[in-house]
Chains A and B, each alone.
Chain A
Amino acid sequence: MNVRVLRLGLGMIAPFLALLISFGIISLILIAAGDPVGAVWDQILQWPERRNLSNIIDKTTIFYLSGIAVAIGFRMNLFNIGVEGQFLVAALVAAVVGGEAWVSGYLNTALAIIAGMVAGALYAGIAGVLRAYRGVSEVISTIMLNSVAVGLTAFLLRQFKGPQPEGSFIVTTKQLPESSWIPNISIGEGAATEIYGFIYIAVFVGLAYWFLINKTRFGFDLRATGQSMTAAVASGINTKRMIVTAMLLSGGFAGLVGLPYIFGEYHSYGSTFPAGLGFTGIAVALIGRNHPIGVALGAFLFAFLDEQTNALQIVAGVSPEIVKIMQGVILLTVVIAYEVVRRFGVRIEQQMVSRELERARAESTPPPADEKEAAR
């Protein structure tokens, strides 16, 4: 059997198997809690309405960007937990730059997006430099930088706050001029069934990520460093520079995470800006195995569950917080399944190799031939 086909097959089977198992576990949890199992699954697994579908797609877009940002780090064995902080800082910067509207129209959009990415990159770069040149674990530094980001954005929001509507307690930055909004795409009737135009950028990000990681020398160096720092050094890769570059890149993509809201919905950064998206990205990247399509599926799965469980309270009398348990269980089973399948795959491959060895040994006995040559 071809090794590549084998690996692909195993890679596909694992998540579906894991999903089935996790559904079983969740059912058991529901039964133990005395909740109506059937009604819950009915609600979750029904085909979503248009309105819900557009929400699912929007969330998928956002989770996907977050997942890709985390995945870049993972590919190099860097655990960028700081996507959360990076996207907050980036969203604020993008909103401020966009709101100032130094240039007009889509030029302003582009400028704001780039400003956001640069902000995210620099913010992540702090952790990268600390890791590369001071040996500070990026896990620790990015967690701390997350806390800093929450305070920093709250502080900066006050400095850059725009005009506040009468009687509103919500502080926001200046509104983006309408000419710089990214228009939404309609998938049905009315405003509730529109999706963010930012989805195009997300798709482009996915393609860019795939190309960068799989086709370029930079991507090769990144993966090599992630797999074995020592082998990377011996092969001539400047691993310190790779660490910083990878963090910059991860932070740059993280900078995109909050932008669909800014260009497609709120048109400003405010004190009610959604949080927690960076952490979802970690789960999504793990489920998607850092693969551009896998991460998309993982993002869709999480978005789907988020949306479909909203109505659980009304329909089945079950707290929608069950979604967190579901997502957690799915994450665990998927990760375990991947590892089990990986080991299984390695074993099969080793067996194939040893069969090859034995076949070769049976066909000829090369050592004596080698010897004669060597002795000469």
Chain B
Amino acid sequence: MTSTEAPAAPEAPPGDVAVRLRGIGKRFPGVIANDDVNIDVRRGTIHAIVGENGAGKSTLMKILYGVQPPDSGTIEINGTELKLSSPSDAIKAGVGMVFQHFMLADNLTVLENVVLGAEGMHGIGAAARDRIKELSDTYGLDIKPDRLVEELGVGARQRVEILKVLYRGARIVILDEPTAVLVPQEVDELFDNLRELKNEGLSVIFISHKLDEVLSVADEITVIRRGTTVKTVLPKDVTSRQLAELMVGSELPSPSTEASTVTTTVLLSVKDLALPSVDGRPLLEDISFDIHRGEVLGIAGVEGNGQAELVESIMGMRPEATGTVALADIDISTISTQQRRESGIGYIPEDRHRHGLLLDAPLWENRVLGHQTREPQAKYGLIFRGPARKDTQRIIEQYDVRTPGPNVLARALSGGNQQKFIVGREMSGDPILLIAAHPTRGVDVGAQGAIWQHIKNARREGLGVLLISADLDELIGLSDRIEVILRGRLVGTFDPTKVTPEQLGSAMTGAGDEA
């Protein structure tokens, strides 16, 4: 924190404070999610909480919304200390939360969705409809109560979610990464709505890791790093660079690459890859690129623009994909996922809990997962425990997985160690291509540095790497070339040694000129 000279925001007078958190701590086995968190949210302001993925923002908000009790610390709302043991306690205290994933029933109308579970407030008929209209007008939400939710776009659905919490009497509204699902224009509209809320005296807690957005909309910003509050600053006092440093800390290892190891041998060649969708617009279209031996190709994009579909198509998990995928000059577009893995693809999936691990199986069984046809752990259609355990032990040692041994359930490990284990597993069996989707998401800084190192090692050993990430610094630091994906198409190629995160950012949103 050497270069960060941003002054801390002045302490708020007690009467002004809507939410005061003091010394909040929360431990999960193996992980400290929150530790000594102190935040004051003033009435009538937008207070942003920023931090990296896995910094503990979500846990903190779950505590404030009564989903989980804190292990230590106090929560004060409007000056009174409260114990929130369930979300209904939080709602009673005037705290409402809009989750990142909408919780709306598509086949019901806006009115029905809003009154669902709050039938006691204004009934389910005309009174409720009037109240919804009134709220919509007051805060400029532009919501028609009788529309079916399935007809609404993402931005409108989000406004319905906001209206839902307002309808329940919330004066403090928490929004968990609300912009992650929005396109830029919708983001602007959302921010206008939030300013309306603020002007009406409500307090908004805005969780994000997108610094430019935070700087443009927030009145105060609290930075969380590794579970604890680092500093609260005013947006006028900081630049986005300083904020980023506060967020990641200056001790963060830089992902910058060593000398280029890119060769001219094409390893993976994707041509005219497309993925139709059931409802019109294709999920992927016209995707063509090559990865050479010793090259890291980074894919940048706002989440939900086809990254996951791209990876799954290359892995053979999307049978409806068209176009050709060739690995080392062999067409693999028609063979199964398992055969693709056998022909030398290592795959670090985006969601390690859903796609990477059997959480309730011991580590050695997870070692076998995805490698159940390969020696030493499998032969003649049989699985051998001894060699699997031994090789698991090797991964544990080589990849520094902190666990008492190979018989521990995968669930018992912390996120970073699970991820290191997956990297180790995918690097065994001598892959020639490594697909890494968000490899450092939600892992601690130590594990992050280690995983970066493993990717660099892979590159040095002549593997091709396809790296998908939302972390632009990670992409710029590790990649030899960056392709930007937008609405299922590749829209620009960038040289990471010359591009800035800002340029990438505008290409990702379609705002900037294509390179």
Contacts and interface: CB of A to CB of B under 8 A. Distances in A.
Interface in A318-376: 346-347, 349-354, 356-357, 360, 366-368, 370-371, 373-376
Contacts, number: 146
Contacts of A231: 354-358, 369
B400 A227 contact: no
Contact of A216 (B251, B337, B383): B383
A223 B381 CA distance: 15
Given A216-B382, A374-B255, A374-B452, A234 B356 contact: yes
A357 to B, nearest CB: 5
Contacts of B450: 370, 374
Interface residues of B, number: 61
A356 B404 contact: yes
Contacts of B30: 350, 353-354, 357
A353 B382 contact: no
A350 B317 CA distance: 33
A4 B363 CA distance: 12
A274 interface: no
A227 B369 CA distance: 12
B382 A235 contact: no
Interface stretch (B193-201, B406-414, B494-502): B406-414
A238 interface: yes
B334 interface: no
A217 B382 contact: yes
A284 B5 CA distance: 68
Nearest to A355: B404
A236 B403 contact: no
B240 interface: no
A346 B412 contact: yes
Contact of B413 (A2, A347, A353, A370): A353
Contacts of A218: 381
Interface in B411-447: 411-414, 417, 445-446
B36 to A, nearest CB: 18
A376 B258 contact: yes
A25 B357 CA distance: 40
A353 B29 contact: yes
Interface residues of A, number: 42
Given A217-B381, A356-B404, A374-B253, A228 B359 contact: yes
Contact of A234 (B355, B360, B414): B355
Interface in A185-232: 215-221, 223-224, 227-228, 230-231
Given A349-B412, A353-B412, A217 B372 contact: yes
Contacts of B362: 3
B409 A375 contact: no
Interface string B254-274: 111010000000000000000
A353 B402 contact: yes
Nearest to B379: A217
B358 A366 contact: no
Nearest to B368: A220
Most buried by B among A4, A221, A235, A360: A235
A4 B407 contact: yes
A352 B446 contact: no
A237 interface: yes
Contacts of B31: 354
Interface string B342-356: 000001010100111
Given A352-B408, A356-B403, A234 B446 contact: no
Interface of B: 28-31, 251, 253-256, 258, 315-317, 336-341, 347, 349, 351, 354-362, 365, 368-370, 372-373, 378, 381-383, 400, 402-405, 407-409, 411-414, 417, 445-446, 449-450, 452-453, 456
Given A231-B354, A234-B347, A367-B251, 5 more contacts: A223-B365, A224-B372, A234-B337, A353-B408, A375-B256
6 contacts: A218-B381, A228-B357, A236-B341, A346-B411, A347-B29, A350-B411
The 6 nearest A-B residue pairs measured at CB: A236-B338, A350-B29, A235-B370, A374-B253, A236-B337, A367-B446
